[in-house]
Structure formats: structure tokens, C-alpha cells
């Protein structure tokens, strides 16, 4: 075997998550979860949402926005009792280098960010009446109530200043006031995973787990046995922060280069914000160890996000005999000065291996949560998932499903996994409605 084949094979071995790894990870994850529930130290957080699942009877028209990834999405949602319609929806990027703004940068303040949000909300407010609004804030937050929620710390490399530790409801209310929107009444701030679960459970009450695999990663679930509540409560785990996974040297290097080392370790192994960076790190290493990727080092620069999860999906979709799409992408976008077939194939192998690892790790965490919720799997616990990686990465959802089946065997049908599009924004509208129906 030549050096190139050897290093690809070695790489695959290092990044493969076997069935016994899945079982071990699931067991450890369950232990960490139960430790966290008992208030003992754990990298998982127990962040109660102050909500259980909706009854499905909530009705009315609500404003919602979904804040958390690359874009911010605004919508007006009509809840019709067990079904809903999105009447209006538009999306704004939080960063636009062409227009010269970046609301995720340290140079931007919380006031500027929330003024930007309030200006977009104004576009949805056409009538002279009161509007109830719910919104997601997809970062680790501690809540004292549904509308009293503070950001613990930024994740996903967000850096906007003056938001960590602040009451998000207050920041929004003040910004709405500055825009003259006193008829918009914020009712609830929830995590995006809670939003996904609420919108799925609104349609079908068997949904009990909500998860995102997009720019970031996180999961929440419906906890039925918690000492301080008679009613079931949705708990957000911030599972992207889980630190019990076996890390490779690539993960360690990525973590060291990141904005918040030692934080969000699972998220850095599985989510869209980081998968491209991992590919770059691996290419850099291979360029030094093999005859491949010589001269490519230039494009593989940390933090430029030059190579994103979108490119990984496109690379995985290239089934042409000569991998011509990949060749074009490398030439046009990265100016690598041409690529050999072997390099293109190696690049696709690296992407496939990382994507598979991501899906299997995420599936293992779902298995850990299920083992806590219902070890014998006596009931159905459907999982609602959204996010660009789950939705767009070719084969990703199949790998998650197959990994679950490897472990659950004939009980796998008790854990159906549903893709819920735009669920987090709709869920924020449902949360706002739930505050009025209490």
C-alpha cells in the first residue's frame, strides 16, 4: 500500500465509531445526564424550559423569530389546533460581508443586534393591534421563567458584545420600544430544540425528543420524573457541550484553535460550523505526510470558514466518474491550481468519514437519552430533528437511523425519527400561545 492509501485507511480507522463504541458512548451519556439531573458536575446542562408538550389545542396568530445559526428567520404563524400555517416568513443573514455588516462580531453590541431584530419585526406588524411574540435563542441560556432568560455564554463562534449574562427579553423589549413597537408583546424565549419538539408534538403527541444538527448541535427531551415539577418538563441538555466523547488529535487541534477551548466539544465534532474546519485540519496534516494536497495549505486556514458544511454536501453529491464537480469547486473557489483524481477522491473520503462519524455520535447520544427515559422502550418516543446537516448532507439521516437500529434491533420502530422543517420558529409561536392558554 502506498503512503496515501495508508494514511487514508489509518484516518478512517481513527474516525470510525463501531457498534461497541456507540453502546459505550450511549451508556456514558446516560450516566452524565443522570449525574446532571442530580445536580452533580457534568458537561451536560439541565436547562428547564418551563414548558411541557402542548395540548394541540392552542390557537391564534403569533409572531415568531428564530435566532441562532447563520440566519435569522422571522415569521407569522397561525395555529389552527393540531395544525398550523406559516403566513409570512423571511430570512436575513446575520453576516453579510458585501453589505458590510456582521452582527455576530465582537465589534457589534447587543443593542445594535436587537435593534436590527426589531427593525425586521416591524416588517411583520401591519395592523394596529397587539401581537404576541415568541422567539428562539439558540445558545445556552438559563431561564427563571418563560420570558426571563439570560445568555450563559455564546457558542458557534458568536462574539457580539454585551449579551452574555444579559436578560434577552429585556434587550428585546427595549429595542422594540426604540422602534415604537409597543404593541408587540414578547411572551416566551426558548431554545431552538424546544421549538422543534413543541412544533412536532403539536402535530403528534408521541414526539418527546427535539434535536438540531445544523450550524450547532443540541438536544432536549421531555422529562416525566423530576422532583420539582408534577407536570412533565422539557429539559434542554446543551448536548453539544458534552465532553465524554473519544477525541482524536484533529478534534484536539480544532478545539485549541477555537474561540472557546474546552467548551462545546461534541458540537465541534458533529456540527456544520466545525465540520469544514476539521476537513481543513486533516488536509493540512496529509499535505505534510503524503504526496497529496501539496500547495493546498493556503486555503485551509482556520476561522475563514472557507470550507463549509455546504461544500461538504456538494462534494458528497458528486458521483461523476472523474469527480468533475469537486475539480471545479477546488479550482474556482479555492484556487488550488488544479487537483488530481486521487486528491479529489481523498477529499471525498475525508468528508464521508467525518459525516458518518457525526451521524453515529449523535445517534449514540439519542440512545443515551432513551435509555434514561424508558430503558425497556415500553412506549413510543418519536424524535424530531431539524438542521442543515440532518436535512442536506446526503445519507446523514439514514446513518442516524441505521445506527439506532443496530442497537435497538426490533424495537427500532418505537423510536421514529421525523424531520421537522422550520420547527423552531413555529415552536416559538406555540410557546407564546401556551403562555396565554395556561
What's the min distance (Å) between Cβ of 241 and ligand BGC?
Answer: 7
Of 53, 218, 356, 388, the one binding ligand BGC (CB under 6 A) is 218
Binding to ligand BGC by residue 266, rule CB under 6 A?
A: no
What's the min distance (Å) between Cβ of 240 and ligand BGC?
Answer: 5
Of 67, 139, 293, 296, the one binding ligand BGC (CB under 6 A) is 139
Separation between Cα atoms, residue 236 and residue 220, nearest integer Å: 4
Region class of 21: left (phi > 0), else alpha (psi between -120 and 50), else beta:
alpha
Separation between Cα atoms, residue 196 and residue 356, nearest integer Å: 23
176-205 residues in contact with ligand BGC (CB under 6 A) are 191-193
What's the min distance (Å) between Cβ of 161 and ligand BGC?
Answer: 18
Among 159, 157, 137, CA closest to 276: 157
- DSSP E strands, 18-70: 47-48, 59-67
Span from 57-65, 111-119, 134-142, 393-401 in contact with ligand BGC (CB under 6 A): 134-142
69 vs 186, beta carbon nearer ligand BGC: 69
Region class of 71: left (phi > 0), else alpha (psi between -120 and 50), else beta:
beta
- Residue partners of 378: CB distance under 8 A and separation at least 6: none
**Are residues 85 and 203 in contact, defined by beta-carbon separation less than 8 angstroms?**
no
Binding to ligand BGC by residue 422, rule CB under 6 A?
A: no
Separation between Cα atoms, residue 122 and residue 392, nearest integer Å: 32
Binding to ligand BGC by residue 140, rule CB under 6 A?
A: yes
What's the min distance (Å) between Cβ of 248 and ligand BGC?
Answer: 21
Separation between Cα atoms, residue 28 and residue 147, nearest integer Å: 33
The per-residue b/e assignment along 25-50, b for 16 or more CB within 10 angstroms, e otherwise, is bbebbbebbeebbeeeebbbbbbbbb
Binding to ligand BGC by residue 238, rule CB under 6 A?
A: yes
Of 208, 267, 277, 422, the one binding ligand BGC (CB under 6 A) is 267
Binding to ligand BGC by residue 150, rule CB under 6 A?
A: no
Span from 137-145, 160-168, 349-357, 414-422 in contact with ligand BGC (CB under 6 A): 137-145
Span from 95-103, 214-222, 359-367, 393-401 in contact with ligand BGC (CB under 6 A): 214-222
Q: Which x/- pattern, by CB under 6 A, does the window 26-65 give for ligand BGC?
A: ----------------------------------------
125 vs 210, beta carbon nearer ligand BGC: 210
Separation between Cα atoms, residue 16 and residue 357, nearest integer Å: 6
The per-residue b/e assignment along 206-216, b for 16 or more CB within 10 angstroms, e otherwise, is ebbbbbbbbbb
Binding to ligand BGC by residue 240, rule CB under 6 A?
A: yes
Residue in the shown chain whose Cβ atom is closest to ligand BGC: 216
> Running DSSP on this structure, what letter comes out for residue 235?
E
Interacting residues with ligand BGC (CB under 6 A): 68-69, 138-140, 155-156, 191-193, 212, 214, 216-218, 238, 240, 267
Amino acid at each position: 500500500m502506498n503512503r496515501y492509501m495508508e494514511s487514508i485507511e489509518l484516518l478512517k480507522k481513527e474516525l470510525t465509531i463501531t457498534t461497541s463504541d456507540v453502546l459505550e458512548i450511549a451508556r456514558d451519556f446516560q450516566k452524565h445526564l443522570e449525574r446532571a439531573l442530580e445536580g452533580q458536575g457534568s458537561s451536560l446542562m439541565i436547562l428547564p424550559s418551563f414548558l411541557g408538550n402542548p395540548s394541540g389545542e392552542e390557537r391564534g396568530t403569533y409572531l415568531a423569530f428564530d435566532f441562532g445559526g447563520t440566519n435569522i428567520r422571522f415569521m407569522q404563524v397561525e395555529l389552527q389546533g393540531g395544525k398550523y400555517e406559516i403566513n409570512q416568513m423571511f430570512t436575513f443573514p446575520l453576516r453579510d460581508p458585501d453589505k458590510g455588516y456582521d452582527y455576530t462580531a465582537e465589534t457589534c453590541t447587543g443593542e445594535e443586534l436587537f435593534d436590527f431584530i426589531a427593525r425586521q419585526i416591524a416588517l411583520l406588524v401591519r395592523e394596529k393591534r397587539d401581537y404576541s411574540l415568541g422567539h428562539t435563542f439558540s445558545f445556552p441560556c438559563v431561564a427563571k421563567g418563560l420570558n426571563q432568560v439570560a445568555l450563559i455564554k455564546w457558542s458557534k463562534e458568536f462574539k457580539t458584545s454585551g449579551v452574555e449574562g444579559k436578560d434577552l427579553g429585556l434587550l428585546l423589549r427595549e429595542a422594540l420600544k426604540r422602534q415604537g413597537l409597543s404593541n408587540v408583546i414578547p411572551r416566551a424565549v426558548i431554545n431552538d430544540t424546544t421549538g422543534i419538539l413543541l412544533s412536532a408534538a403539536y402535530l403528534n403527541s408521541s414526539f418527546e425528543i427535539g434535536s438540531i444538527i445544523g450550524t450547532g448541535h443540541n438536544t432536549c427531551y421531555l422529562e416525566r420524573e423530576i422532583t420539582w415539577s408534577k407536570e412533565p418538563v422539557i429539559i434542554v441538555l446543551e448536548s453539544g457541550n458534552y465532553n465524554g466523547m473519544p477525541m482524536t488529535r484533529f478534534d484536539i487541534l480544532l478545539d485549541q484553535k477555537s474561540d472557546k477551548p474546552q467548551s462545546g466539544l461534541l458540537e465541534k465534532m458533529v456540527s456544520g460550523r466545525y465540520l469544514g474546519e476539521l476537513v481543513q485540519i486533516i488536509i493540512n496534516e496529509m499535505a505534510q505526510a503524503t504526496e497529496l494536497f501539496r500547495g493546498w495549505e493556503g486555503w485551509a486556514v482556520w476561522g475563514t470558514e472557507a470550507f463549509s458544511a455546504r461544500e461538504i454536501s456538494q462534494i458528497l453529491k458528486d458521483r461523476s466518474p472523474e469527480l468533475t464537480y469537486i475539480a471545479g469547486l477546488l479550482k474556482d473557489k479555492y484556487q488550488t491550481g488544479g487537483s488530481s483524481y486521487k486528491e479529489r477522491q481523498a477529499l471525498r473520503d475525508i468528508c464521508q468519514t467525518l459525516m458518518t462519524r457525526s451521524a453515529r455520535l449523535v445517534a449514540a447520544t439519542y440512545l443515551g437519552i432513551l435509555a434514561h427515559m424508558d430503558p425497556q422502550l415500553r412506549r413510543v418516543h418519536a424524535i424530531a430533528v431539524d438542521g442543515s446537516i440532518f436535512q442536506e448532507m446526503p445519507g446523514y439521516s439514514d446513518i442516524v437511523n441505521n445506527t439506532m437500529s443496530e442497537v435497538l434491533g426490533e424495537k427500532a420502530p418505537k423510536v421514529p425519527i421525523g424531520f421537522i422543517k422550520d420547527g423552531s420558529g413555529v415552536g416559538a409561536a406555540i410557546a407564546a400561545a401556551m403562555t396565554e392558554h395556561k
